[in-house]
Each structure stands twice: as structure tokens, then as C-alpha cells.
Structure 1
Amino acid sequence: MATTQQSSTKHEILEYLLKHSRATAFELAEILNISPQAIRRHLKDLEAEKLILYSSIQEGMGRPQHVYHLSREGRDRLQRGDSYGEFAVSLLDTLAETVGRDQVSTILRKQWERKAQEYRDRLGKGSLKERVENLVELRKAEGFMAECHPVESNESESDRFILMEHNCAISNVAESFPSICGHELEMFAAVLCDCTVERTHWIINGEHRCGYLVQGRKPCAELD
């Protein structure tokens, strides 16, 4: 039981660092409601597993503080289906060698068009808020650490939300075929076709999450 609890706490630390990029031991202890001593033990274990790194910062006249962040291995630990991702990259590389990268891009576009139709069928006809929340749940089921938040605005004529994904369940594919991220943006725009969808953050650009601004505009027609 204790081992399971320790594993759960370590996973919570990794998830917090993934979402917030960095934190001190004191901040983690407060957020997770456990003692600083216990947090330091977990951090030491995670550092030994090479899942986290730290840098020292000096604030005032006191001792330097350690600020922790995920290592590449730590980020990978939170990705799902890495072995499938490696297989997908190998398969796409083989296709690129056989039919050319332009044809692979066309294949990926067709895949996202199918996915967009599947999402739209499952999201239903509710309000934009309900559909964005349902989309978040679908993405979570596929291995994405997704969430959404309303955007405060003085403009009353449209709903606005930020859709965030703190990891990339297809990161291996995206690194080798970055065009897939463009197709993903097109997919969200097709799924929420009464909205404008703009990318605000991008993991491939070195940011710690992908983000999309979703803003309602007009009713949409059925996909072809």
C-alpha cells in the first residue's frame, strides 16, 4: 500500500511539473499537502531515476533554492504508447521512402479528416462549452493531458476558450513529421467548425504545452 501511495505521489509531482514547467520543493509540498521532508525524498528518487532536473536560484541573502523541472525522460514517462509511436514513425519513414513525403502528408491529412468526423459525431449538438469539454474528455481517453478554460472577455457576442494539452501522445511522430501538427490544427477547426481555432502554444517549438484559442463565430455545415 505504501509503495502504491509513493508511486502515486511521484506521478503527481511529474504531472505538476509537466503542467507548470517548474516548482520548488516547498511549492510542491504545499500543492500536494505533504511534508517538505517527504517531498524531498520523492524528488531525490525522481532525480536518481533521471526523470527530473534542477537548477539553483539565489533569492535575497538566504540559501539558493532548487527549482525542479522535467527531464526529457520525465516528459517521455508521461507520454503513452511510446512503443506504438516508434512503430508509427518507422512505418511513415518507410512510406516516405516509397511514395514520397508529399504523399505521406496527404495520407496524414486524410487520417485527420476521418478523425474530425469521428469527433464531431461524438461531440453532439450542445453548446460550445459542452462540446469543448467533451473534446477534452475524448483527448484524455487517447492519452493527452488535456484541459480547457474559459477566456474572460468584454465581448459578449462569442464564447472563447483555451484548450490546452500538456503532453503530446504522438510526440515521436510529430518530431519526425511536424506537418502532422498542422493537420491537427485543421482537425480541431473542422470539429469546432462554428469557431475560429488558433494555435497559442506548441511543444515542438520548445514550449511545455500545446494550446489553442477557440472562439465561436457561426454555425457550420456538415463535413464532406
Structure 2
Amino acid sequence: MTTTHQSSTKQDILEYLLKHSQATAFELAEVLDISPQAIRRHLKDLEAEELILYSTMVQAGMGRPQHVYQLSSRGRDRLYRQDSDRLGDSYGNFAVSLLDTLAETVGKDQVKTILQKQWERKAQEYRDRLGNGSLKERVANLVEFRKAEGFMAEYHAVEPDDSKKSDRFLFIEHKCAISNVAESFPSVCGHELEMFAAVLPDCTVERTHWIINGEHRCGYLVQARE
């Protein structure tokens, strides 16, 4: 196996753990389609780099205990730093610095108004590009737009509840391309929720997960109005 292939597999492991919070070696071997022996070698290397950690899960019956792996804080930082490198640390730092300067110059309320206008503009851009397809098609397209902007985005269909028959989807972002801005100006996340609601005006959009609250992803439940 080449070094490049090894690096790619380790990256796949880290990204899977970011998306799914935790996994066993057997699960990773099945998902990545490599042998359990190979996956354990990669896990041992990642553990040595302190990018992952594990706990022991005791199985019922006669099954052997298994290690359950998850990202360490260093592993999570590694993935976020990779996004920052691709998008440019200087860009993110400049954005935060610019917003700080604006807040000092014109006041925080005016900055909130500026951010609101920015998200309204972005929402209109997304709506123009999404078209008038089915809800599933529009959510899928929105995922692709966000991926192109540096977000690790995906979506899943959600079963309708007993009282409603409308389509429902969980829109997820595992990594935030504007996390450094969001840390300094949390209101941008509120605007993001407003933006998604404006992009999909025939739907209700509800926040289900939030990275700022310590969760490992941001999530939104999108449901077509009846």
C-alpha cells in the first residue's frame, strides 16, 4: 500500500468518525471496504498521533468486548484546520477582524443589520440556483452548493410522523466553513437558519443540532408544508 493510499484511508477514518461520532474497527472495515487487520493498523497509527481515542464496549452474551473509536479534540482540530487551510486562514481572520472593526466603528446593532443583509443576499442566490424541482432535488442541490463552499454537508430522508405525510429531510453540516466567524459573532448562525428558511419558503426549517452548543454537527429538519 502506498503512502498516499494510507493517508487517504486515515483521512476517510477521521471524516467517518466526524460524521458518525463513533465507530468500531469492524464497522470502519466494512464501510471503507478494507480488511480488519489493515483498519486496526491505521487506527493504531491515528491513536499514536493522538487524533483518535477509544472506550471499551462490552457486548452481551459471549461476544468479545470491542473498542469504540471517536475523534479526540486534536483530531477534530485537524479536520477543521484542513478546511481553514483550503479556504485560507487569512480570509477567515480578515473577516473576523473586519467585523470587529465595523462593530467598533458603527456599533454592534449596525453589524447585525449588515450580516442580515448578507444572508438575505445569499438566500436569493441559492433560490435562483435551486430552481423549482422537488424538495428532495432542491435539498440535494443545496448540499452540493454548501460542499463547494467548504462545508461537509449531507442530507437524509426522515420518515413522516404519524400526524403528517409531507416530505421531511435532515440537512447536516459536519464542518463549518465560517466557524471562526461564528465563534466571534454567534448571530451569524441565527441568520443561517433564517437563510435556509428563505431558500425553502414552502417548508418549515427547524434547528436540531448546533456545533456552537458543543455538538459534533449542525443539523436542520426540513419539512414540506401541507
TM-score normalised by L of structure 2: 0.86
Q: Which shows bigger deviation, 65-74 or 185-194? A: 65-74
Tell which deviates more after alignment, 70-79 or 204-213: 70-79
2:203 is aligned, of 171, 191, 195, to: 195
Distance 1:148-1:62 versus aligned 2 partners, 3 A rule: closer
Q: Distance in 2 between matches of 1:169 and 1:73?
A: 18
Q: How does 1:107-146 map to 2 (within 5 A)?
A: 107-146=114-153
1:216 is displaced (CA, Å) by: 1.4
2:181 pairs with 1:173: yes
Unaligned runs of 5+ in 2: none
Corresponding residue SS for 1:50: coil
Cα offset, 1:58, TM superposition: 4.5
Q: CA deviation at 1:8?
A: 1.1
What is the alpha-carbon root mean square deviation over aligned residues?
2.2
Q: Name the CA shift for 1:88/1:50 in 2 (closer, same or farther; >3 Å).
A: farther
Residue matched to 2:69 = 68
Q: Can you list the C-alpha shifts for 1:15-51, whole angstroms capped at 9, x where unaligned?
A: 1101110122232222222222322221222233332
Match of 1:39 in 2: 39
Structure 1 residue matching 2:93: 3-state secondary structure = helix
Distance 1:45 1:155, change over 3 A: same
- Correspondent of 1:215 among 205, 218, 223: 223
1:12 positional shift:
0.8
Alpha-carbon distance, 1:59 to partner = 4.7
Gaps of at least 5 residues in structure 1 are 219-224
Which amino acid is the alignment partner of residue 100 of structure 1? Answer: G
State the AA in 2 paired with 1:69. Q
Aligned residue pair count:
218
Write the mapping of 1:44-123 to structure 2, written as runs, cut at 5 A: 44-59=44-59, 65-79=66-80, 80-81=83-84, 83=89, 84-123=91-130
Task: Letter of the 1:183 partner, please give it.
Answer: H
Query: What is the letter of the counterpart of residue 96 of structure 1?
Result: A
Q: Secondary structure at the match of 2:150?
A: coil
Change in CA separation of 1:5 and 1:181 when aligned onto 2, cut-off 3 Å: same
